């Protein structure tokens, strides 16, 4: 935590959970949405007792980062703040043809839900009652009815602490991290992450792909098909699958690479972007969802949303440009941006300013 208990002795914690007899069936992520709904009901029940006992000015309903799951805190007799809200981040329609049938159906349901919120019929009431809505991306902002968007504050849900900054200084100056012109992509190998796009872009970058490596860190259901995809290319020996590594091992690879490749079609405040920025690495990514909020063209290569085949060409060219360019200044700008604009301290100041304006 950024602040100690001694500094804020009037900070009280109340712990609320769903009774075991109503949650015995929950195993890991299985049933998490039903569990969340029940948890919100019990949180509201507890909150009603708290507002009777104390004089409460604001209720701040922190979420799973999803506008499609309900909060009932707007019913309390005090000002209501809702967020950070996500859920509007979807795979752009230009890329749907490349998704599996199941993933396409998920995206269609997501778009339908934006118009008719079947999973959260209380959404519009909560939006109307809120004095402040915190949305993490412009995609989620688009889910808010236009007449209420003046109540919205764009703020990504991820931040860094001073201890993170100090820790990454040590990683960046590790004498064992030999700097190379390689590229890194990491994460869970699921359809919307588009790892195959990274492989296809690198495989087609004949001008450079025999001189550098594409490091792939992570695992997931698409691992086997991605390995087969890599074998199509002459430079397949330079596409290195590391599997799942520890965070320390992943950061060591990142520190030695020239840039982070992020081909995901949708993200919120993905922590890997902040890690790359703290290590002064430029980011190659789509210009959409959370990437648009975190990355800019001064510190990364922003690829316009387009069809898959066209995206291969754009990402390939970005890899080639990054290989030949001196990206030192881009890395420095990335570091400045993350340490000045995405610290918890900066977010706290932003929140206090918003609360001041709502008084």
Whole-angstrom distance, CA of residue 50 vs CA of residue 144: 29
**Alpha-carbon distances, residue 333 vs 79, 207, 280, 281, 303 (angstroms):** 38, 28, 8, 9, 19
* 94 Cα distance to chain centroid: 21
Q: Is the pTM of this model over 0.85?
A: yes
Q: At what angle do helices 162-172 and 247-256 cross, to 10 degrees?
A: 60
**Of 190, 188, 237, 193, whose CA–CA distance to 215 is shortest?**
237
pLDDT score, position 175: 57
pLDDT tens series, the chain, 359 aa? 455 667 777 888 899 999 988 888 877 777 888 888 999 999 999 999 999 999 999 999 987 778 888 999 999 999 999 989 988 888 999 999 998 898 899 888 888 887 788 778 899 999 999 999 999 999 999 999 999 999 999 998 889 999 899 988 877 665 555 678 999 999 999 999 999 999 999 999 999 999 999 999 999 999 999 999 999 999 999 999 999 999 999 999 999 999 999 999 998 888 999 999 999 999 999 999 999 999 999 999 999 999 999 999 999 999 999 999 999 999 999 999 999 999 999 999 988 888 888 77
For the chain, the domains span 20-159+344-358, 162-341
pLDDT score, position 1: 47
pLDDT score, position 306: 96
pLDDT score, position 176: 58
* Residues ≥6 apart with Cβ < 8 Å to 121: 70
pLDDT score, position 8: 77
Whole-angstrom distance, CA of residue 8 vs CA of residue 316: 52
Per DSSP, which regions of 218-351 are E strands?
Answer: 239-243, 259-262, 283-286, 300-303
Which CATH code, of 3.40.50.2000, 2.40.440.10, 1.10.3720.10, 2.40.50.140, is assigned to 162-341? 3.40.50.2000
For residue 192, report the phi and psi dihedrals to the nearest 5 degrees. -70, -10
Whole-angstrom distance, CA of residue 304 vs CA of residue 6: 49
Using alpha carbons only, give the angle 180, 197, 254 rounded to the nearest 5 degrees.
25
């Amino acid at each position: 935590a950024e602040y100690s208990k001694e500094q804020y002795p009037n900070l009280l914690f109340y712990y609320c959970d769903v009774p075991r007899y109503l949650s015995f069936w929950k195993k890991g992520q299985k049933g998490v949405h039903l569990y969340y709904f029940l948890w919100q009901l019990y949180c509201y029940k507890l909150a009603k007792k708290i507002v009777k006992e104390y004089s409460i000015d604001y209720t701040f309903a922190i979420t799973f980062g999803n506008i499609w799951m309900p909060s009932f805190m707007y019913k309390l007799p005090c000002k209501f703040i809702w967020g950070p809200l996500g859920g509007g981040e979807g795979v752009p329609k230009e890329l749907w043809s490349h998704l599996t049938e199941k993933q396409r159906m998920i995206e269609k349901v997501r778009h339908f839900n934006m118009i008719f919120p079947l999973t959260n019929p209380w959404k519009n009431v909560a939006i109307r009652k809120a004095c402040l809505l915190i949305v993490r991306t412009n995609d989620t902002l688009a889910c808010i009815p236009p007449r209420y968007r003046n109540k919205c504050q764009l703020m990504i849900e991820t931040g860094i602490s001073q201890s993170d900054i100090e820790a990454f200084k040590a990683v960046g100056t590790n004498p064992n991290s030999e700097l190379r012109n390689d590229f890194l992509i990491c994460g869970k190998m699921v359809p919307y992450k588009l790892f195959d796009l990274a492989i296809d872009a690198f495989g087609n970058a004949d001008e450079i792909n025999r001189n550098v490596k594409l490091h792939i860190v992570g695992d997931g259901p698409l691992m086997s098909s991605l390995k087969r995809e890599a074998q199509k290319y002459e430079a397949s020996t330079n596409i290195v699958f590391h599997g799942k590594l520890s965070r320390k091992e992943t950061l060591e690879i990142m520190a030695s690479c020239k840039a982070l490749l992020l081909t995901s079609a949708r993200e919120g405040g993905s922590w890997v972007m902040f890690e790359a920025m703290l290590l002064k690495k430029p980011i190659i990514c789509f210009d959409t969802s959370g990437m648009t909020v975190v990355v800019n063209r001064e510190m990364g290569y922003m690829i316009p949303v387009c069809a898959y085949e066209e995206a291969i060409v754009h990402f390939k060219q970005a890899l080639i440009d990054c290989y030949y360019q001196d990206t030192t200044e881009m890395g420095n700008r990335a570091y400045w941006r993350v340490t000045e604009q995405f610290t918890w301290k900066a977010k706290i100041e932003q929140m206090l300013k918003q609360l001041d304006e709502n008084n």
